[in-house]
Amino acid sequence: MNTALFIAKRYFSIRSKQSLIYRMGLVACLSVAISTMALLLVVSVFNGFEEVIKKLFATFDPDIKIELQQGKYFSVSPAWIRPLEEVPGVVKVVEVIEENALLTYRGHQLVAKIKGVSDNFVEDSPLAVHIAHGRLRLKEGDQHFALIGAGIQYTLGIRLQNVFEDLQVFFPRSTQGRLSPSQKLYRTAWIRPGAVFAVEKHFDDRYVITPLIFAAQLLGHPDQRTALEIQVVPGASIKKVKQALQKLLPPHFQVLTKDEQQVTLMRTIRTERLLVFTTFAIIVIVASLNIFFILSMLVLAKRTDVAILYTLGATPKTIQRIFIWEGLLIGLSGSVAGMAIAWLLTWLQQHFGLISIGTQTSLLDAYPIKGLWSDYMYVGIGVFIATLIASYRPSVLATKVQIKEQL
């Protein structure tokens, strides 16, 4: 039996509940529990928001995106794309042309992004579940259709049922060469609205998705693309697919994962999460330092016990371990209780939405929350280290008790 741990348990036991020091130990344990719970809950809410944002952007952003490091347009051919499609884990390669253009519809005007995509875009597209009106289609026979963001539909007043009005698109011609007097400064084309998607305001207010051939003719780049979007087999390693694609591509191309496509947003969320984690971690550390004062008072109260232990043959190391164990019992009991409460509240929020956002225009009814085992592990390790440091000095003082003065 570990003698130091046994004695520390006795000091920590309920039998000493009449002791003021015991009550103060409970307060220290409770403060560690509350601060640990608060830290884990706040971090879990940030995890929840990050997951929601990733799901929203995952609908529109591809698993992997290939584009130039410098410049915008690059030439492609079937022979150039075929090796990319044969990479293990790749489902499809979607060719993309993306540019700003002027839209007009029944006298209303709006500048938006025209995103021309190849025909395989609609095959198993995650955008299908976000179609609010119409059908997910880009072509039917010789007829081209546009997928319009809900915000653009509202601004231009587009009605899908009106088959007599098409969406008119204007794009400026390149002025590098000389234009003949009969040529206009812009190209124009008409396309019929086929469906309205509602993903997130960032996309709904900006994007119109069209067939690739329509965008290529309008923009005047029939053999050039601005990006290639790669869909990966569910469960496949994005990292391995990215590495395989990088080996096939020239060095002036960059291969971006979903997080890298939204690097600024992801960096902002993670920076805020780190700042909040650091702030609450300091609170946990301060709560753990209460153990220092509790153990210091315990050393003063137990000087006679320490002297008796010395006479029974206890070594200074044994005495030191008793008070270190006492500090760890207080700190770890508080952290385990805090983790248990945080896990329970996280589960309740996930399943019952106890705390609602309270905004009618919000995409979510309740605050999203997601507990990660890594967060629990890091918090537990942090409390352990803080408690160990707080317990060290009182344990050293306990070894300096004079036997003659106490007996």
217 & 354 share domain: no
**Residue 8: closest CA among 331, 286, 285:** 331
What is the predicted pLDDT for the residue at 347? 94
141 and 72, same domain (yes or no): yes
Residue 350 and residue 308 share a domain:
yes
| Whether residue 149 sits in one domain with residue 295 | no
125 and 232 co-located in one domain = yes
The residue among 37 and 354 whose pLDDT is bigger is 37
What integer pLDDT is reported at residue 359 of this predicted model?
Answer: 63
Domain count, the chain: 2
Rounded to whole angstroms, how far apart are CA atoms 133 and 146? 12
Domain end call among 258, 289, 315:
258
- Name the 3-class secondary structure at 369: coil
Contact 202, 180 (CB under 8 A): no
Same-domain status, 71 and 125? yes
Domain identity same for 80 and 185: yes
Q: Is residue 338 domain-shared with residue 397, that is, in the same domain?
A: yes
Residue 182 confidence (pLDDT): 41
- Do 71 and 47 have their domain in common? no
Question: What is the CA 103 to chain-centroid distance, rounded?
Answer: 34
Q: Taking residues 281-287, what's their average pLDDT?
A: 83
Which of 215, 243, 258 terminates a domain? The answer is 258
Looking at residue 403, its amino acid is I
Q: Are residues 42 and 178 in the same domain?
A: no
Mean pLDDT of the chain: 87
Bigger pLDDT: 280 vs 242: 242
Which is more confidently placed, 15 or 41? Answer: 41
User: Residue 361's pLDDT is what?
Assistant: 57
**Which of the 8 DSSP states describes residue 359?**
-
pLDDT tens readout for residues 144-171: 999 999 999 999 999 999 888 999 999 9
Q: What are the structure tokens assigned to 273, written together?
A: 């999460």
Can you tell me which residue has the tokens 């890594």?
374
252 and 282 part of one domain: no
In angstroms, the Cα distances linking 99 to 121, 150, 209, 215, 226 are 18, 19, 11, 9, 9
User: What is residue 302's predicted lDDT score, i.e. its pLDDT?
Assistant: 82
Give me the pLDDT at residue 17, please. Answer: 47
Residue where one domain finishes, among candidates 258, 273, 299: 258
Specify the range with the lowest mean pLDDT, choosing from 23-27, 79-83, 125-129, 313-317. 23-27
pLDDT digits over 298-341, tens only?
888 888 888 888 888 888 899 899 889 989 998 999 999 999 99
Q: Are residues 36 and 336 in contact, defined by beta-carbon separation less than 8 angstroms?
A: no
CA distance 345 to 368: 12
Rg of the chain, C-alpha, whole Å: 32
The pLDDT of 273-289, averaged and rounded, is 83
Report which of residues 377 and 354 the model is more confident about.
377
Q: Are 201 and 39 in contact (CB under 8 A)?
A: no
User: Quick one: pLDDT at residue 214?
Assistant: 94
229 φψ region: left (φ > 0), alpha (ψ -120 to 50), beta (else): beta
Q: Encode pLDDT of 221-242 as tens digits.
A: 788 999 999 999 988 999 999 9
Does the pLDDT at position 136 exceed 70?
Answer: yes
Q: Check residue 358 and give its pLDDT.
A: 66
Do both 206 and 324 map to the same domain? no
Q: Please report which confidence band the pLDDT of residue 33 belongs to, taking 50, 70 and 90 as the band edges.
A: very high
Domain that holds residue 96: 62-258
Predicted confidence (pLDDT) per residue in 288-301, tens digit: 778 888 888 888 88
pLDDT in tens, 171-227: 987 655 555 444 567 889 999 999 999 988 889 999 999 999 999 999 887 889 999
Question: 313-325 b/e with 16+ CB inside 10 Å = b?
Answer: ebeeebbbbbbbb
**Is 174:127 a contact under the CB 8 Å cutoff?**
no
